[in-house]
Amino acid sequence: MYKYDKYDQSIVDARVEEFREQTARRLAGALTDDQFKPLRLKNGLYLQLHAYMLRVAIPYGTLDSRQMRMLGHIARKYDRGYGHFTTRQNIQYNWIKLEEAPDILADLATVEMHAIQTSGESIRNISSDQYAGAAADEICDPRPWAELVRQATTFHPEFSYLPRKFKIALTAAEEDRAAIRLHDVGLKLVKNEAGELGFEVYVGGGMGRTPFVAPLIRPFLPADNLFSYLEAVLRVWNRWARRDNIHKQRIKILVHEIGQAEFTRQVEEEWQAILPNGSDVPRVEFDRIAAYFPEPPFATGLSDELDRSDPDFALWLDQNVAAHKRPGYAIVNISLKPTGGIPGDISADQIDLVADLAERHSFDELRATHAQNLVLPHVRKDALYGLWQTLRDAGLAEANLDLVTDIIACPGLDYCSLANARSIPVAQKIAARFADQGRQRELGELKIKISGCINACGHHHAGHIGILGVDRKGTENYQLLLGGSGAEDASLAKITGPGFDEDGIVDAVEKATAVYLRERVEGERFLDTYRRVGMDPFKEAIYG
Amino acid sequence: MKIVTGNDLKTGAVIWWAGDGWSIHVADAVDAGEHADALAQTEQAALRVNGAYVIDGEATPNGPRPAHIKERIRAIGPTVRPDLNLKPADPAAGSWVI
């Protein structure tokens, strides 16, 4: 994985000291709250419901054991013993003291981490496929390209005061595990007929108040032109974005309002104009970055045979272990969705344990996923049983990946100052209702995503079943949505009808699953059945 | 009643105007009445609170109760982590919030 050079380290260290000084000035009264707010947001520090909240960037979700242990150290020393993995492959801490925030950033900098551009009107953490570098279905490792974009956009002066936040996802596999079409820019590495590497470029997707699935604006962008083309996209947006209206500032609104064709025309025109400037990153620089992502020294001649005689282990194997590109290896998903738990939450002790396991079993690599789980990307199959036993003993072996209890949920009104309703208790009640392993498996792949407000941090628009919490005259109310997907078959979920209270929404979810079980034909997932039969049978069952 | 609330500047902790200073316990909150907005501004300017604002509340036999659920969650802590709440052993805390 990428390692800071002296320039990277010096700018991150300088940023820490700058923020230390800004914080001191705030505490001394030299800066007002209004003056300080944009400064702390540029360093990922929010003021939430109960305390300050710090969001730490995990570039494209990749980290090593040293960094993971630092996340545990921060949870233990500065927070209340836990952290929360987010839907942007980041981690956030809920109980931060302002006076200690500079020390946290200094600690992070010692392991090449920071919280820069995890908030504010900036280019946020570049997200990617959590199986990058390990997936059997990828054409190459997308992370060097994600790192290139990260470096090129960090502190970029032209993109430091954008109209609004800007999110980029970059993948290289046929299966979309990063929801690229629900990003401001989605980039998919592909090869053309000549075998050359390039990108499919999707622009104008997103969730939030006004969701859109991003259209494809360029089916093949030569890989070496990635940055200049991104620059052209950002420039067109920067030129026309509705800075007068916060609800219309995102690029998706511009693409929608002027139309895909006109937007594309302007981007292409801008791109041709700036190409002679030579802003593309030279190939030698890309090669320098790519050299940090060598393939691990995989052993050869390993067997793919597994002893499945322990039924609980076999269950976990079938659900949480994915195919690796190398014989004898597997990708292990660690669910952070135990029944009764809080989606994405992990204790400091669990963080340390996962760090140890990554070091021992996965070439010191681990990943955070946008579904709020963790991944050990390169595990020898002959080590899986012992690994599973260790995870099980630590409460980290819930065998529910992509099942009905693997629920994405934002922090909601329990933590977030923007939320209108609580998300976590709804997730917990649904997980409890469907706790039976056999029932979960009978339902198969079923992605439930819950947001506590219209900002959609819980990705409810992309849920096979989505739930949106709203405030109805001071009372929590929950709308049910069906038919969304963040995968390669991206679609937006539709609202079924009037909302429910907390218990009512759990009942409604159960009724929707009953319709699926009744209507499905062989091989269909919940989403497939919904798409085939439409909304009516579900509405009838839920409201009838 | 009008309750003035905000966050502690240094720690970010939720605090409530208690008449002669700030308290982390909503039970100590007092009715700031018609002076609530001015009080919030003065206290913020004096750096004794961060992001001060005024909310509606109700005086009950058990003390002040904010009108909105968001403020009641602020007063106690996340409903999903009772172990971290200000009243972790209080079985009535849940019903007080909801």
Give A435's contacts (C-beta < 8 A, 6+ positions apart). Answer: A339, A405
Residues A222 and A246 grouped into a single domain = yes
Residues A264 and A385 grouped into a single domain = no
Write out the two tokens for A177.
């595990």
Beta-carbon pairs below 8 A across chains A and B: 67
CA distance A52 to chain B (A): 5
In tens, the pLDDT along B2-13 reads 999 999 999 999
Least confident segment among A52-56, A168-172, A246-250:
A246-250
Residue B59: helix, strand or coil by DSSP?
strand
| Residue among A420, A427, A383, A436 at smallest CA distance from A406 | A427
- CA A300 – CA A303 distance, rounded (Å): 9
Facing B12 at nearest CB: one of A29, A47, A413 = A47
The pLDDT assigned to A161 comes to 86
Q: What is the CATH number of the domain that holds A157?
A: 3.30.413.10
Set of chain B residues whose Cβ sits within 8 Å of the Cβ of A476 = 69
Total number of domains in chain A: 4
Residues A366 and A482 grouped into a single domain = no
The residues that bridge with A244 in the sheet, in sequence order, are none
The last residue of one of the domains, among A290, A319, A339, is A290
pLDDT, mean of residues A95-118: 97
| Amino acid residing at A51 | A
Question: Percentage of residues in chain A with pLDDT exceeding 90?
Answer: 96
- Pairing between β-strand A52-56 and β-strand A321-323 as defined by DSSP bridges: unpaired
The pLDDT assigned to A85 comes to 98
**Cβ pair A98, A105 in contact under 8 A:** no
The pLDDT assigned to A52 comes to 97
Please report whether residue A299 resides in a domain: no
Residues A365 and A440 grouped into a single domain = no
Facing B10 at nearest CB: one of A27, A47, A50 = A27
Per-residue pLDDT for B89 more than 70? no
Set of chain A residues whose Cβ sits within 8 Å of the Cβ of B49 = none
CA distance B45 to chain A (A): 8
Per-residue pLDDT for A463 more than 90? yes
Per-residue pLDDT for B24 more than 80? yes
Facing A98 at nearest CB: one of B12, B44, B77 = B12
Residues A336 and A286 grouped into a single domain = no
Residues A277 and A366 grouped into a single domain = no
Give A10's contacts (C-beta < 8 A, 6+ positions apart). Answer: none
Facing B12 at nearest CB: one of A33, A52, A419 = A52
Half-sphere exposure of B24 (CA within 13 A, CB side): 12
Please report whether residue A127 resides in a domain: no
Provide the whole-model pTM.
Answer: 0.96
Residue A52 has phi, psi (to 5 degrees) of -75, 150
- CA A50 – CA B13 distance, rounded (Å): 6
Please report whether residue A115 resides in a domain: no
The pLDDT assigned to B87 comes to 72
Residue A275 has phi, psi (to 5 degrees) of -55, -40
The answer to whether A52 faces chain B, any CB pair under 8 Å, is: yes
In tens, the pLDDT along A279-315 reads 999 999 999 999 999 999 999 999 999 999 999 999 9
Residues A45 and A14 grouped into a single domain = yes
Please report whether residue A116 resides in a domain: no
Confidence of residue B92 (pLDDT cuts 50, 70, 90): confident
| Cβ-defined contact of B50 to A33 (cutoff 8 Å) | yes
Question: Percentage of residues in chain A with pLDDT exceeding 70?
Answer: 100
The answer to whether A414 faces chain B, any CB pair under 8 Å, is: yes
Residues A434 and A326 grouped into a single domain = no
pLDDT, mean of residues A351-376: 98
CA angle A247, A252, A255 (to 5 degrees): 120
The answer to whether A5 faces chain B, any CB pair under 8 Å, is: no
Average pLDDT, chain A: 97
Residues A416 and A535 grouped into a single domain = yes
The pLDDT assigned to A254 comes to 97
Facing B79 at nearest CB: one of A96, A425, A474 = A425
Please report whether residue A126 resides in a domain: no
pLDDT, mean of residues A359-366: 98
CA distance B71 to chain A (A): 9
Question: Percentage of residues in chain B with pLDDT exceeding 90?
Answer: 78
**Contact residues of B toward A, CB < 8 A:** 7, 9-14, 44, 47, 50-51, 67-70, 73-74, 77-81, 84
- CA A121 – CA B25 distance, rounded (Å): 35
- CA A339 – CA A390 distance, rounded (Å): 18
Please report whether residue A306 resides in a domain: no
Tell me, rounded to whole angstroms, the distance of Cα A362 from its chain centroid: 21
The last residue of one of the domains, among A221, A256, A290, is A290
Write out the two tokens for A387.
């690994």
Residues A150 and A279 grouped into a single domain = yes
pLDDT, mean of residues A471-484: 96
Confidence of residue B88 (pLDDT cuts 50, 70, 90): low
Q: Which residue range(s) make up the domain with A280? A: 142-290
The residues that bridge with A46 in the sheet, in sequence order, are A53
Residues A339 and A429 grouped into a single domain = no
Residue A439: helix, strand or coil by DSSP?
helix
- CA A439 – CA A32 distance, rounded (Å): 55
Residue A349 has phi, psi (to 5 degrees) of -65, -40
- Read off the DSSP letter of residue A116: T
Residues A155 and A271 grouped into a single domain = yes
| Cβ-defined contact of B69 to A474 (cutoff 8 Å) | yes
Set of chain B residues whose Cβ sits within 8 Å of the Cβ of A428 = 80
CA-CA-CA-CA torsion sign (A535, A541, A542, A544) = positive
Please report whether residue A1 resides in a domain: no
The last residue of one of the domains, among A366, A393, A420, is A393
